[in-house]
Amino acid sequence: MVRSLIGTRIRERRRAKKLSQTMLAEKAGISTSYMNLIEHNHRAIAGRTLLSIAESLEVDPKELTEGADHLVLTQLQEAANMISEKTVELNRLEEFVGRYPGWSNLCAKLYENIQQQEQRLQALSDRLGHDPFFSEAMHLMLSNVTVLHSTSDILATTDEIPAAQFKKFIQNMKTESERLSDTITKLLSYFDETTSTETQSPMLAPSKLDQFWEMHDYHLYELEKPELNPKAQIKKMMEAWNFQESGEQRLAEALVGRYASVADHLPLDEFIVAAVDYLYNPILLAQKFDCELHDVFFRFAHLPSEYDGQTLPQFGLIECDGSGGVLFRKPLKTLSLPHKSSACPLWPLYRAISQPMQPVRAIIETPTGESFLTVSQAVWSGLNNYTVPPTVKSAMVFTSDYQRFLPTHERRALPTIKVGMSCEICPRTNCSARRSDSILDN
Amino acid sequence: MTKKVLLIEDEPHIVEALSFLLRRESWQVEIHNDGIGAVNKVSELTPDLVILDVMLPNIGGMEILHDIRQNQQTAQTPVLMLTAKGQQKDRKAAEDAGASLFMTKPFSNQEIIASIRELVA
């Protein structure tokens, strides 16, 4: 498959260097007719001939065998599959990329843009479906409309209504129409704020690092096989993604490096077998693999969605420091997570901070009715230092798929904590942990 | 004989409109506005119909419905569920939990009265 592209690449690079076929053949020490056959992809080349041609063209041999075109090829292949267009000449894809690098890069870039737009739309759709603020606002508005609809119908269809009752109905309609107007204004303001802070709000415009994880579905199969040389794979990923901000690049490298380390210590095949055996109990798994509980959490969050033909439970993960600042997040579709600041103080993630090293297990229930099994633990960091106080890092792994593995008697024994996302958008009233009013309060 | 309807709903203005409609039909209306104590109220009043809101304070309507169906004394009582959530999954959840009928807000007065007539007939 690659063979056909090598000749085309050689030809393109030769032309770019303004060399004739004869000149290049001479430099590489082969005949012009042989060079002609190579350039027209009629001869496969490798070894010494490939090296001498690459040297003559002053390029890395890899650029001729795979090069930067690899990603473009993959993207164009995906684009063709996406539209299921039978008229696309897939058998000539490599030739296209080799002959028209500018056009193929443009097509690949357009495809990438489409993918990103689709992800944003999906994020928006998920948000509308699960955003507690939106859900509560809709509920309030439907209640307002119900009163207006029903009461106005009564007034229109009932001939005789006692004066006091009539007055009461009019007052109710006035109150409900004011509430409706108020809720709509708040709703518009909420979405306006979201739009105006879009660049800082990765929920609608995910950061490149978020996109990186989402594109990989939080699973890096390249790092699951030690024989693939994880270090080289990490380098390749970082180059391909070209994180613009140095802070993001460092963070990405650290996280992917951590992934590689966890994958090495908790090999996927062995881990999944053990996880099923131990009913996804992270404590037992940490004992078996002689590792930290946080490593098991991290592994859970990066499991593939399917393994050996079976779907696996999906886990989300949030890690924060002692001040609640978010260090890592993997949201689930049904549970969005804060990007930087703290969430609902009732989350077990924060309770764990008050008792470092002690795991906390609980079911949490969101205002929209979804429930999740959570396991949290905070650990000390920077101990044994006279001058700098130690810090804590807390992590909470969670899943809504717990019915698949958690025995009923264990589920019943767990406390269920009714939580929110953050006070501003939480519809729960009479909450002892509330630190600010909900913007939906009438 | 006058039919007795228990309305379990926490929105006072909806309660006011609905109870007016029900009384206009000469039905006896009892009102309860919290999830807590709702099941006991059904046992105590033995109504001909329960109109139950899904979103109630403290205990949700689905949980209350479940308990009504588990209680031998109230298991056969017709229950009309009212909700602002009209998605298919919510409808299915209500049916699975044993709702006699599921109506979404905003409802039309004619529609809800016609449905109630059928349920208490």
Q: How high is the pLDDT of residue A202?
A: 38
Residue in chain B closest to A136 (alpha carbons) equals B84
Compute the count of residue pairs across chains A and B with CB atoms less than 8 Å apart. Answer: 57
Residue in chain B closest to A158 (alpha carbons) equals B24
A287 lies in a domain?
no
Contact B107 A150 (CB under 8 A): yes
Closest Cβ–Cβ partner in A138, A145, A175 for B106: A145
* Chain A residues touching residue B13 (CB < 8 angstroms): 147, 151, 172, 175-176
User: Could you say which residues from 63 to 102 on chain B have a Cβ atom under 8 Å away from some Cβ of chain A?
Assistant: 84-85
Q: In this structure, what DSSP letter does residue B28 have?
A: E
Q: How high is the pLDDT of residue A169?
A: 95
Contact B105 A138 (CB under 8 A): no
Cα gap A296→A292, rounded to integer Å: 7
Same domain, A299 and A437: yes
Q: How high is the pLDDT of residue A130?
A: 64
- Rounded to 5°, angle at Cα A133 from A128 and A137: 90
Cβ neighbours, 10 Å, residue A63: 14
- Contact status, residue A124 vs residue A204, Cβ threshold 8 Å: yes
A413 lies in a domain?
yes
Cα gap A72→B49, rounded to integer Å: 65
Residue in chain A closest to B63 (alpha carbons) equals A369
Q: How high is the pLDDT of residue A435?
A: 82
Best of A134, A146, A171, A176 to mutate (most B CBs within 10 Å, chain B): A146
Q: How high is the pLDDT of residue A76?
A: 84
Cα gap A221→A296, rounded to integer Å: 17
CATH superfamily entry for domain B4-120: Response regulator (3.40.50.2300)
A202: left (phi over 0), alpha (psi -120 to 50) or beta: alpha
Cα gap A325→A392, rounded to integer Å: 11
From first CA to last CA, the distance across chain A in angstroms is 66
Cα gap B60→A369, rounded to integer Å: 9
Residues, chain A: 442
Q: Which stretches of chain A score pLDDT less than 70?
A: 1-4, 66-69, 84-86, 123, 126-132, 191-206, 246, 439-442
Same domain, A299 and A414: yes
Residues paired with A252 in a beta bridge: none
Nearest-neighbour CA in chain A from B113: distance (Å): 12
Q: Looking at per-residue confidence, does B49 or A104 come out higher?
A: B49
Segments making up each domain of chain B, as ranges? 4-120
Same domain, A323 and A388: yes
Cα gap B113→B103, rounded to integer Å: 12
Q: Is B114 on the interface with A (CB under 8 A)?
A: no
Closest Cβ–Cβ partner in B17, B24, B55 for A151: B17
Q: How high is the pLDDT of residue A204?
A: 42
A116 lies in a domain?
no
Cα gap A87→A46, rounded to integer Å: 33
Read off the amino acid at residue B104: T
Nearest-neighbour CA in chain B from A436: distance (Å): 20
Contact B109 A146 (CB under 8 A): no
Which candidate, B37, B55, B42, places its Cα nearest to that of B7?
Answer: B42
- Contact status, residue A368 vs residue A132, Cβ threshold 8 Å: yes
Cα gap A186→A421, rounded to integer Å: 18
Q: Looking at per-residue confidence, does B47 or A124 come out higher?
A: B47
pLDDT digits (tens, 9 = 90+) for B75-85: 999 999 998 76
Cβ neighbours, 10 Å, residue B107: 18
Using the predicted structure, report yes or no on whether residue B7 has a pLDDT greater than 70. yes
A209 lies in a domain?
yes
Contact B13 A175 (CB under 8 A): yes
Cα gap B27→B46, rounded to integer Å: 14
Same domain, A203 and A184: no
Q: How high is the pLDDT of residue A166?
A: 93
Cα gap A431→A244, rounded to integer Å: 42
Q: Is B25 on the interface with A (CB under 8 A)?
A: no
**Residues near A218 by beta carbon (within 8 Å), at least 6 away in sequence:** A301, A302, A330
- Contact status, residue A75 vs residue A29, Cβ threshold 8 Å: no
In CATH, what number is assigned to the domain containing residue A47?
A: 1.10.260.40
The residue segments making up the domain with residue A402 are: 292-442
pLDDT digits (tens, 9 = 90+) for A103-122: 888 888 888 888 878 777 77
Q: Is B117 on the interface with A (CB under 8 A)?
A: no
Give the pair of three-digit tokens for residue B110: 């004619």
Same domain, A304 and A433: yes
Nearest-neighbour CA in chain B from A281: distance (Å): 29
* Chain A residues touching residue B114 (CB < 8 angstroms): none
**Residues near A244 by beta carbon (within 8 Å), at least 6 away in sequence:** A208
Contact A145 B107 (CB under 8 A): no
Nearest-neighbour CA in chain B from A138: distance (Å): 8
- Beta sheet of B79-83, edge-to-edge order: B28-32, B4-8, B49-53, B79-83, B101-104
- Contact status, residue B14 vs residue A143, Cβ threshold 8 Å: yes
Nearest-neighbour CA in chain A from B38: distance (Å): 19
- Contact status, residue B42 vs residue B65, Cβ threshold 8 Å: no
Which candidate, A93, A95, A85, A130, places its Cα nearest to that of A9?
Answer: A95
Angle between helix A132-157 and helix A163-196 axes, rounded to 10 deg: 150
Contact A147 B11 (CB under 8 A): yes
- For B45-55, give one letter per residue: b (16+ CB within 10 A) or e: bebbbbbbbbb
Q: How high is the pLDDT of residue A16?
A: 84
A22 lies in a domain?
yes
Contact A147 B14 (CB under 8 A): yes
Best of B9, B10, B13 to mutate (most A CBs within 10 Å, chain A): B13
Nearest-neighbour CA in chain A from B84: distance (Å): 6
In chain A, the number of structural domains is: 4
Q: How high is the pLDDT of residue A353?
A: 94
Same domain, A148 and A98: no
Read off the amino acid at residue A27: K
Specify the pairing of strand B101-104 against strand B79-83.
parallel
A273 lies in a domain?
no
Which candidate, B19, B16, B27, places its Cα nearest to that of B120?
Answer: B27
ipTM of this complex: 0.91
Q: How high is the pLDDT of residue A67?
A: 57
Same domain, A431 and A348: yes
Cα gap A402→A298, rounded to integer Å: 17
Q: How high is the pLDDT of residue A200?
A: 39
Nearest-neighbour CA in chain A from B40: distance (Å): 23
Same domain, A404 and A358: yes
What SS3 state is found at A308? Answer: coil
Which H/E stretch holds residue A179? helix A163-196
Contact B20 A168 (CB under 8 A): no
